[in-house]
Structure 1
Amino acid sequence: MFGNVFNGLTAFTTGDHSPLSIHHHTRPLSRFDAAADELARVVHGYWNDEAGYRRLLSPAPLPVRWQVAGRNVAGPVAGATAEGTRARFAPLPGLKPITRQSLRDGGDLNRLHEVYGGLASGRLLLIGAPAAGKTAAAVLLLLEALKYRASHLDVREHIPVPLLLSLDGWDPRERAVEWAAGRISHAYTLFHGRKGRELACELLEAGRIALFLDGLDEVTGRLRAAMVSALESLPCRLVLLSRKGEAQLTSKKARLSGALAVELPEVAPREAAAYLLRAVPAQPPPAWQALTRRLLDEPGSVVAQALRRPLWISLVHDVYGDDDPVDELLDTARFPRPLDIENHLLDHVVTAAYTPRAAYPHRRPRHSPETAERTLRHLAARLNEEGTRELRWWHIPTWVAPRPRAVFLAALVGPTFGALSGLAGSYGWGPVRATLLGLFAAIGGAYVAGRLHVQFSERQPLPSAGWRDVFTRFSLGVGLLIWAVSACGLWYGYRLQEDPIPFWLCGILAFVWGFAATMVSGSGFGIVQGTFLGLGSGPSFAPLRKSDRPRVADTRSIGPREVWRHHIGLRLVLGLTAGAGFMLWYIPITARTYGWGYGAVVGLAAGSWIIFVPCLLRNLAIATALAAVQLSFTEGSPVRLMAFLEDAHRRNLLRAVGPVYEFRHARLQERLGR
């Protein structure tokens, strides 16, 4: 573990409101069953909320239609259905095996779930043109699979829990199962730590988890082929999402054995018109009537060609209100091509999202349309430069110069440390020497603080460890044992002297040793180790580290803002505890010889440095908050950038995938970045 990295959320979430919560059992649950049930509960809650943000639940979504793709994308259908041969996966309980005949006519979402659960190969390739709604279809299929599992509780051990992950950042040289377990560990607190990752691996190996993998079309061709080859060994059901063109190119180099490729076709004009009229009043305004009439009467018109894919149809609703002139899209002089309509919708979606509407008074924007668009344009440009779609908040400090942050922290830490040092020097030294000591301490502290932060301003990784990994039963047991032994040893040692101290004071003095033992034997050593020298970023002390067998408890999925908040909280608590523990040890010992006043100020001065390093100087979340202030001066973005990003997520401009944000669609990012 590295000191200034994400230390995942503790599993404090409680509540049984989810329909996937399980309260009564006819037999004791195994560790796998309990973990799978808890995972299903939290996955359902997360993606149900996310589907709401993405407008997939209300108004009623466009119907999911699919058809079998040609053989230039995947192998023969017989390889996927395995008719007459041994099936790799048995059908899910209650579903029938899929045959070539049953696939001939395609189907809807319910039929797609039957294909997912009854396909003998367990390999489903979901493809479509850009903006065809592949991710939306995958989210709806995932929710349908969870609903089916919840309705078959008696056989749920044979029904896997579906998880949607992004392929971005995977090196195919790493085993697919181990990579997926790592991503699951990042996304769900139940699987934090080494033992949690092992549990995720075991669930994957046992087929208790089904993987929905998005983003294959967003990596380079050679890497795509390597990923497809590496996914062959996955022992669980797999749904792989890709644009049709990239899937065809990849199939020339590598094909997923036994995969069935299904394609999402264009939306029929009558379905597009019905969807557009769902969210408007019962008596549609004339502009909306004119638009839908054109879709139905002239399916070859420019606007009908533009509104053949779910993204553009949903953007019409996002950009235009009930009384807005949506019929301007019919103007072929302004919009001679479908691409012109698409660009027009992309150019206005941010402004529309942050413009107050009388129909939605509870969604009054906190930011002006100009501020929102300016900020999102800057973020999109940054991501375009980096060639990625994932907005990692812990990379934001690298977007601006670290020197202003270093100067600010130096100005905060230096005078504080200097004042405490000068106050300590006033006990026994003259005022001149105490002042000089304080001045030198302030200058030295400011310089070291600035240098530490500048050195720390490079990109940091984000492994997952949290409260339960720092304070495991083993680490707490070790800490209590060391604390008790140290307290008894101190008490007995002072009893041999002429001036013994009370046992309660020995307990206070020994606290620092018990806390240090807890940090060393858990995962917190890298956060507070070597703080006098500012080295609070190293690995934990591996020989003593030991994790408990993972226990199943209420868990939660992790969003970017929650990760950021938790990172601040964990490091602040541990840094303050480390500093307080040192003071409790140092002050009484020094006070016995030099008096309580001297002991207090010297202990406070030394302990403050132990607090400053992990809490301020090497806290990535603090660096991100300060970088947001810098961006507000240089780019005009909101000072509370993380709150703005979450607000943009709720307005369906960004989407959250684990601890990172992504733009709603790659075209939106590309357009804004220009």
Structure 2
Amino acid sequence: MRRAWTRTLLIVALPVSVLAFVNWARLLSGTGLEHADQRASVLSLAVGVLSLVVSVISLVVTWRAAAPADATDVIHDHLVRRTRRSLEEEATARDLHPPYLQPTRWSGAGGSGTIEDLARHVADLPVRQLVVLGAPGSGKSSMALRLALDLLDGDTRVPVLLSVPAWDPERSLDDWLASTLLQVHPDLRDGRRFGRSAATVAAGRVLPVLDGFDEAHPAHRVAVLRRLRTELAAGRPLVLVSQEKPFREAVQRSGVTLARASEITVQPLRPDEAARYLPVGQHRGTERWRDVVDHIERTPRGRLAVLLSSPLMIYLARVAYDDPRTDPGELLTMTNPEARAALLDAFLPAVYGRRAGPYPAARAGRWLRYLARRMVARDRPVLHWWQLPDLNPATAGSLRLLVGVLGSVFMSIRFGLPVGLITAVVASRAVGAPVTGPRPVRTAFRPAHAAVGLVVGGAWAAAIGLLVVPDEDVLVPALSGLGIGLTTALLTGVAFGRVHDDRVDDGRALRDDRNVLLAVLAVAAITGLRSGLQWNWWMGTQQFGRTAVILLTALGIARVGVPWLRFAWARLLLALTGRTPFRLRHFLDDAHRRGILRRSGAGLEFRHTTLLRYLAAPPDPARAAPSAPR
């Protein structure tokens, strides 16, 4: 309903505003440029006031939108649909659907079973609180994802995968859940459909599945456990996933035990299970894997059986030897460290070789290695688009330098060197400052707001133009009026389009920030063109530069729009130097589809910390090309 209203407004607003502006420009032709400029300036006050009034009215209408009577069920059903689609896509990317689902086993005081039995076990717990522990590479995260997908069937609570390092335990679990749901499911902001408290309602219907406890800083783990002691005291359902050693250490340091939670431990794959699973779904798999399978069955405690008891190593082996031209028997001639290194070396060439795409394996590997190195160096396990400039401080520094120099030059010419230097300092700090919070402020610069501003401005311009005596030249005052109208629309959108920084998803925030920056350039171009036509091209260039610097500085101070500029600048420099591709987001999405990356909220992280550390490590010159398939 709301989108239909916006489209209708745009359809009506654009032609009306164009006609009104043309009429106003024609009527302004009866006075000189000086008087026309004065009237255009006076017009800005009326445009600004009326645009703000109309924007306030539209926002009040949105804020007062009432939720349907059965909002809770509507929210729950919507969340189930969206969560199911997201989890199924993630499970497909990570081969977690039968027959490719590894037969991972678990055991605990309350029983034992396979990955497919865990959802039933959780449903039968007297208090549905579960701690999943296991060794590195044992399949804990895959088990958590499969558990969340299975719990969607017939459960009153919606399982949502969350990353422990992303949680600030100073915030309540409900508060974090609500903001994260809005981040991942921005549709919940639709007040007409779900009501104003949709995220809060949804948070109460969620079963949190907290993964990556061991990836958090030790002090962070202690704080999380202390918060969970309070949050879980009343029996709130929750699943916590961690490596066993970091979890035990955090319990010892914090003195907190999750007394009502059941514990299970993910078990290594048995040799017979690994042997049966290795050839599943591969062309000539039984024939090609026969020597390896026979060896594992003959020596179930041998080195190769131990290596392939890890679901991560089995996954890497299956990917490395997916090509029917390869020979898995090579693994029999290697030591375990050699085999492990060879499988990691072969992973990216195999992934990019088995599925057509625009990225050659060598270049994709170079880009992924750079991102992994910077993520490890900056301690950023999850990558969001606005954090790209922070991975390499030199990119942000060059942007600060550029903005400072341009601001100083353009402002010094008009207002003198002191003003230029002050502008350089303020502008460079405002535009180049990193986002210190978990995510940037989002400015929802909606087309409807701009259309309303243009309609009101155009109508009032036409009315005032009736009082003006016709003259010959109308282009300069017309551009002046257009610039004033666009500036008012821009400032109105920024003033009333700000959204709390928690309520943002990556794609939407990127588009909104980009639109704000494009609006700034449009306003600066109009004012520059006006000055250029009235005087000369150099004066127009100066006016363009001054307007752009002033608006960018104002937006930078308000932390609006500028994160996209920093992202675009960093992406450009990194692409020009060959460190990342120009279409970075497309490349990362492609890497996710190939199973290299996985979703973490609205961000992306490497599939496993082992893979992240491998890619971040410098190449070993002593090791030649991988022995695994090429």
TM-score (ref. length: structure 2): 0.70
Deviation at 1:369, TM superposition (A): 3.1
SS at match of 2:258: coil
8 A Cα contact 1:51 1:139, kept in partner: yes
Does residue 662 of the first structure (1) align with residue 597 of the second (2)?
no
Match of 1:522 in 2: 497
Helix, strand or coil for the counterpart of 2:131?
strand
Amino acid at match of 1:666: T
Q: Structure 2 matches for 1:236-385, cutoff 5 A?
A: 236-252=236-252, 253-281=255-283, 284-285=286-287, 287-320=288-321, 321-331=323-333, 334-335=334-335, 338-354=336-352, 356=353, 360=354, 363-385=355-377
Aligned to 1:98: none
Aligned 8 A contact 2:129 2:237 in 1: yes
Deviation at 1:449, TM superposition (A): 7.7
Change (3 A) 1:227 1:193: farther
Deviation at 1:167, TM superposition (A): 1.1
Amino acid at match of 1:375: W
Greater fraction helix: 2
In structure 2, relative to structure 1, the CA distance for the partners of 1:582 and 1:457 (3 Å cut) is: closer
User: 1:457 offset after TM fit, Å?
Assistant: 3.0
Which residue pairs with 2:169 in the alignment? 172
What are the residue-to-residue correspondences of 1:554-565 with 2, within 5 Å? Answer: 563=506
Preserved CA contact (<8 Å) 2:163 2:601: no
Q: Sort the Cα spacing of 1:203 and 1:606 in 2 relative to 1 into closer, same or farther, 3 A.
A: same
Give distance in 2, aligned partners of 1:410 and 1:348. 46
Q: How does 1:543-582 map to 2 (within 5 A)?
A: 563=506, 566-577=508-519
Deviations 1:509-550 (A, max 9, x none): 7675466445423317xxxxxxxxxxxxxx99xxxxxxxxx9
Q: Which residue does 1:647 correspond to in 2?
A: 590
Structure 1 letter corresponding to 2:201: E
Query: Secondary structure of the residue that 2:181 maps to in structure 1?
Result: helix
Listed one character per residue, the Cα deviations across residues 621-657 of structure 1 (whole Å, up to 9, x for unaligned) are: 3433432443356565434433333332222222221
Tell whether the 8 Å contact from 1:580 to 1:607 is kept in structure 2 after alignment. no
Question: Tell me, which stretches of 5 or more residues in structure 2 are unaligned?
Answer: 1-5, 8-67, 618-630
Paired with 1:672 and 1:391, the residues of 2 have a C-alpha distance of 15
Q: Does 1:621 align with 2:627?
A: no
Secondary structure at the residue paired with 1:212? Answer: strand
Question: 1:604 and 1:29, CA in 2 relative to 1: closer, same or farther beyond 3 A?
Answer: farther
1:59 deviation in Å?
A: 4.7
Is residue 457 of structure 1 aligned with residue 432 of structure 2?
yes
CA distance, structure 2, for counterparts of residue 489 and residue 464 of structure 1: 36
Q: Would you say the 8 A contact 1:568–1:619 is kept in 2? A: no
What's the CA shift string for 1:468-517, capped at 9, x where partnerless? x55499x79xx95x8887777767767677789x9xx9997767546644
Separation in 1 of the partners of 2:346 and 2:518? 47
Distance 1:607 1:587, change over 3 A: closer
| CA distance in 2: counterparts of 1:383 and 1:498, whole angstroms | 65
**Paired residues for 1:497-512 under 5 Å:** none
Matched residues in 2 for 1:168 and 1:197: separation?
Answer: 28
The alpha-carbon distance between structure 1 residues 672 and 486, as it changes in their structure 2 partners (threshold 3 A), is closer
Structure 2 residue identity aligned to 1:200: A
Gaps of 5+ in 1: 1-10, 13-27, 70-102, 150-158, 422-435, 525-538, 541-549, 551-556
Q: Distance in 2 between matches of 1:493 and 1:280?
A: 76
Query: 5 Å matches for 1:2-401?
Result: 30-57=70-97, 59-68=99-108, 103-104=110-111, 106-149=112-155, 159-192=156-189, 198-204=197-203, 207-231=204-228, 232-233=230-231, 236-252=236-252, 253-281=255-283, 284-285=286-287, 287-320=288-321, 321-331=323-333, 334-335=334-335, 338-354=336-352, 356=353, 360=354, 363-398=355-390, 399-401=392-394
Deviations 1:574-600 (A, max 9, x none): 34446657988x899x99xxx985699
User: Once the 2 structures are TM-superposed, how far is the Cα of residue 302 of structure 1 from its aligned partner?
Assistant: 0.5
- Is contact 2:104–2:267 with CA below 8 Å preserved after alignment? no
1:315 Cα offset (Å):
0.6
**Distance change >3 Å, CA 299–CA 620, structure 1 → 2:** same
Amino-acid identity (%): 25
Q: CA deviation at 1:450?
A: 9.8
Amino acid at match of 1:390: V
What displacement does 1:62 show? 1.0
The CA distance in 1 between the partners of 2:607 and 2:331, in whole Å, is 22
Provide the aligned length of Structure 1 versus Structure 2: 528
SS of the aligned residue for 1:67 comes to: strand
Instruction: Classify the secondary structure of the residue corresponding to 1:66.
Output: strand
The answer (yes or no) to whether the contact 2:269–2:310 under 8 Å persists in 1 is yes
CA distance in 1, matches of 2:344, 2:432: 34
8 Å contact 1:124–1:240 — kept in the other structure? yes
Q: State the shift of 1:225 in Å.
A: 2.7
Query: How much has 1:665 moved relative to structure 2?
Result: 1.0
C-alpha change, 1:122 and 1:464, in structure 2 (3 Å) is farther
Alignment of 1:413-562 (within 5 A): 452-453=427-428, 456-460=431-435, 461=437, 463=439, 470-471=445-446, 480=452, 513=488, 516-523=491-498
